[in-house]
Amino acid sequence: MINMKEKKIVFERNYSFSNENRINSAFIIIKAFNDNKKIVLTTFFLLVCFLYIYQGKNNNNFTKYKEKIYFDQYEVNKYDEIKEKLNLSQCSLMWANQKEFLNGIIRKFKPRKFLEIGVYRGGSSIIILNAINDIKGSSLYSIDLNTEEKVGECVNKFFPELSKNYKLYKGKIATEFIEKIGNNIDMALIDTAHYEPGEILDFLMILPFLKENAIVIFHDIGNQITRSSNRREWAPYIIFNGIRGEKYYPSGNFILKHDIGAVRLDNNQKKYYHDYFRLLSGQWQYFPKEIHIKQMRNFIKKYYDDDCLIMFEEATNFNRRFVRNNPAPLIFNFTSD
């Protein structure tokens, strides 16, 4: 029996004055001024002083943003069912609050079709499978570029009872499996290379298959500040902040606790495709294998417009040279041939 704990989600919203509000207020003031000049002038003066002080008090970077939503407490009871065993198995690469966040966001939105890119031993797959296992018709599709046996091994080794709606694809990039997996993906977790272009490309290679208002979760969106400066693990940070949608973070300090985040995509993502392709214009830390570049090119040609393809080609042509002349400190098995 599941012990249902009280669920609480904290919403913090900051609304700003719209232009319509401003015009209406101006009319009211002008009319009142005509009726009684002295009282109106004094009230107006006091109001300006109050707003000035109030603004100063709240003038930090967070409260200026139009909306922020933090999870404060999650429905953790579902995760509690596997927590101890998962910790003992040492399969997960996530911190405690990240595991709770991943479980919590799944329990809030109850996805049916979940896509995971970046599996490693399967720690995050286990959290996802556990969180969706009482959602009717739900399944997890996981993709990892690595073919090694250890990829995904923890699911069957430690939690075989969760594996009935689980499909693992190995050895290729997402473009090669996504048509088979199909569209209408409700939720995705992207946790792959971290170095540019990494997650930027992984997101672009699944975006046309995501449902309108799908949720995309990114891990390690804080590595750009928490890792040493010669490890430029910036890809999750760049793409997560670039995506248009409502953002969700764990509560707490924004540098130390916001190392995982979720974005609920705004309607009509096609409007932002060009903005997203522009995010490829950074200095890449590795260059993907040429076969993967070719597969991505074909995918872009099929699912995006000519401008996206041109941006992709310019970014790859520039970075092929850039990476050759500025080799990254770390080499990965999925980089240049």
Ligand X SMILES: C[S@@+](CC[C@H](N)C(=O)[O-])C[C@H]1O[C@@H](n2cnc3c(N)ncnc32)[C@H](O)[C@@H]1O
**Residue 202 is a binding residue for ligand X (CB under 6 A):** yes
Min. distance of Cβ 139 from ligand X in angstroms?
A: 17
Q: Which window, 18-26, 137-145, 160-168, 272-280, contacts ligand X (CB under 6 A)? A: 137-145
104 binds ligand X (CB under 6 A): no
- The one among 104, 123, 197, 261 contacting ligand X by CB under 6 A: 123
**How far apart are the C-alpha atoms of 311 and 289, rounded to whole Å?**
18
With binding defined as CB under 6 A, does residue 295 bind ligand X? no
CA 194 to chain centre: 13
- Using rule CB under 6 A, residue 238 touches ligand X: no
**In Å, how far are 119, 133, 154 from 90, measured between CA atoms?**
14, 22, 9
Distance, CA of 215 to CA of 52 (rounded, Å): 38
Beta strands 245-250 and 67-71: pairing type? parallel
Which member of 103, 192, 295, 335 binds ligand X (CB under 6 A)?
Answer: 192
Least Cβ distance, residue 292 to ligand X (angstroms): 7
Q: Does 193 bind ligand X (CB under 6 A)?
A: yes
Judged by CB under 6 A, which stretch of 11-19, 86-94, 105-113, 249-257 contacts ligand X?
86-94
Whether the CB-CB separation of 58 and 127 falls below 8 Å is answered with no
Residues 6+ apart with CB under 8 A from 53: none
Q: Which of 143, 155, 206, 311 binds ligand X (CB under 6 A)?
A: 143
Pairing, β 166-170 against β 139-144: parallel
* Residue 318, Cβ density class (10 Å: 0-12 exposed, 13-18 middle, ≥19 buried): middle
Q: Which region among 41-49, 115-123, 276-284, 308-316 touches ligand X (by CB under 6 A)?
A: 115-123
Q: Which residues bind ligand X (CB under 6 A)?
A: 92-94, 117-120, 123-124, 143-146, 151, 173-174, 191-193, 202, 334
